[in-house]
């Protein structure tokens, strides 16, 4: 195998890998089933606590 071929292979498959990873993260983040979990995490900072986290 030549170095140029390995560079071509890594660039093309790397692009497809990162594109698939991006789509998977996007689907996970926008899934309606995760809405409650993400809303609770977003609003957790506003919970009334009288003492520090420790």
pLDDT tens-digit readout, 1-50: 799 999 998 888 999 999 999 999 999 999 999 999 999 989 888 877 77
Q: How far apart are alpha carbons 46 and 49 in whole angstroms?
A: 9
Domain regions of the chain by residue span: 13-39
Task: Tell me the two tokens of residue 11.
Answer: 């660039």
Question: What predicted TM-score, i.e. pTM, was given to this entire model?
Answer: 0.62
pLDDT attached to residue 22: 98
Q: How far apart are CA 29 and CA 27, in angstroms?
A: 6
Question: How far apart (Å, rounded) are the C-alpha atoms in residues 7 and 23?
Answer: 24
């Amino acid at each position: 195998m030549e170095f140029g071929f390995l560079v071509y292979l890594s660039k093309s498959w790397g692009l497809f890998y990162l594109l698939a990873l991006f789509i998977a993260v996007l689907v996970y983040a926008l899934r309606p089933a995760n809405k409650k979990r993400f809303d609770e995490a977003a609003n957790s900072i506003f919970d009334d606590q009288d003492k520090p986290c420790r």
